[in-house]
């Protein structure tokens, strides 16, 4: 089969497209799917670069997990996978063959909803940047929707991550949430997920993307780099307090985001695209009684809510571009330049 394999940490040259990768076989409790689409994420890039650091050395080349490395090379990345079941392993009903499924990419490693030992497909085992993929049958979900495969492939990682962030921060109806990095996959998902909860999202994004943010549900938009962030957010919120900050950016604005929060406000993060090492004035945190939440991926319950939102048409896909698997380098280059809104999706060449 054709697949893009990550051969080691480094640049784009470490991602190699090959047409002679063996088709995997479904093991006990597993299904084999023929992949039709797979969405792209920041995690793909950071894992390729080894950009996660360690608790002792933020600059160290390291992979995604803090609980012990499960990444081996070569590895097929890709989390947001949609496809059809074409074979079943021992113990799986062969009647599942033919189902169109969206993949819950999480490897939970526990029976409860704790994420203390979470891993994911595309890291701990092969993912969807290929023509075929195996996975546990319980992670292959039929979703009742008329969306195309490409549209369905925009949701899982980004929206699941966003839903977990909002769940941890307990975002409630009527509250205001400031979303940084709002035009990306997770950020644009959070805007819609906040609306699904009855909350009011304000977007922080780059110049030129303001109207796109309003179109997907932002109440107001703050343009990044346009002056005093505290004042700009206060103006956008029309004087109302900011209850929650959902941050995907980090970097130099981190402490300003804590200043923006109301007393007893909640900060939640699942990304640091502007810089993972930040300055924190602890006095701001403790004198304002703030909560700070780190978040990554989502639980089984979060995934079920996400499917419910899709089926109820409370959220919609945002396809920023579609690329054939053989042009993966171009796709990831465009992804890193961030000149799009929503998600980029990769499809097998036979479908492109």
pLDDT digits (tens, 9 = 90+) for 247-258: 999 999 999 999
Predicted local confidence at residue 64, as pLDDT: 83
Average pLDDT over residues 102-131: 94
pLDDT digits (tens, 9 = 90+) for 126-171: 999 999 999 999 999 999 999 999 999 999 999 999 999 999 999 9
Q: Answer whether residue 68 shows pLDDT above 90.
A: no
Predicted local confidence at residue 165, as pLDDT: 96
Q: Answer whether residue 172 shows pLDDT above 90.
A: yes
Nearest to 104, CA basis, from 245, 302, 296: 302
- Split at pLDDT 50, 70, 90, the class of 188 is very high
Gap between the Cα atoms of 166 and 338, Å rounded: 24
Assign 323 to helix, strand or coil. strand
Assign 258 to helix, strand or coil. helix
pLDDT digits (tens, 9 = 90+) for 26-51: 999 999 999 999 999 999 999 999 98
- Greater confidence (172 vs 62) lies with 172
Phi/psi of residue 4, nearest 5 degrees = -105, 120
Nearest to 136, CA basis, from 86, 89, 82, 70: 89
Nearest to 188, CA basis, from 209, 151, 216, 221: 216
**Residue 176: is it exposed, middle or buried by C-beta count within 10 angstroms (0-12/13-18/19+)?**
buried
- Split at pLDDT 50, 70, 90, the class of 337 is very high
């Amino acid at each position: 089969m054709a697949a893009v394999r990550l051969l080691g940490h480094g640049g784009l040259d470490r991602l190699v497209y090959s047409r002679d990768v063996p088709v995997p076989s479904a093991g006990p409790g597993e299904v084999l799917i023929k992949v039709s689409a797979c969405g792209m994420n920041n995690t793909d890039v950071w894992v390729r670069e080894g950009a996660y650091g360690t608790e002792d050395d933020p600059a160290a080349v390291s992979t995604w997990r803090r609980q012990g490395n499960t990444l081996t090379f070569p590895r097929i990345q890709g989390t947001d996978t949609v496809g059809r079941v074409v074979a079943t392993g021992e113990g799986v009903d062969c009647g599942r063959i033919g189902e169109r499924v969206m993949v819950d990419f999480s490897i939970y490693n526990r029976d409860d909803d704790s994420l203390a030992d979470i891993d994911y497909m595309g890291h701990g085992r092969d993912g969807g940047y290929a023509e075929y993929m195996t996975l546990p049958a319980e992670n292959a979900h039929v979703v009742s929707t008329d969306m195309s495969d490409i549209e369905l492939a925009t949701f899982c990682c980004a929206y699941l991550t966003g839903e977990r962030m909002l769940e941890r921060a307990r975002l409630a109806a009527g509250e205001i949430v400031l979303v940084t990095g709002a035009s990306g996959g997770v950020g644009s998902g959070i805007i819609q997920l906040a609306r699904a909860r009855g909350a009011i999202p304000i977007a922080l994004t780059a110049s030129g993307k303001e109207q796109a943010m309003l179109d997907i549900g932002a109440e107001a938009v703050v343009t990044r780099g346009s002056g005093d962030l505290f004042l700009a957010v206060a103006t956008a919120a029309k004087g109302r307090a900011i209850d929650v900050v959902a941050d995907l950016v980090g970097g130099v604005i981190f402490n300003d985001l804590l200043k923006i929060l109301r007393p007893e406000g909640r900060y939640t993060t699942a990304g640091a695209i502007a810089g993972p090492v930040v300055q924190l004035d602890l006095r701001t945190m403790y004198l304002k009684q703030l909560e700070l939440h780190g978040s990554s991926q989502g639980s089984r319950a979060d995934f079920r809510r996400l499917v419910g939102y899709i089926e109820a048409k409370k959220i919609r896909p945002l396809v920023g571009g579609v690329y054939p698997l053989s042009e993966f380098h171009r796709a990831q280059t465009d992804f890193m330049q961030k000149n799009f809104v929503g998600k980029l999706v990769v499809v097998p060449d036979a479908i492109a």
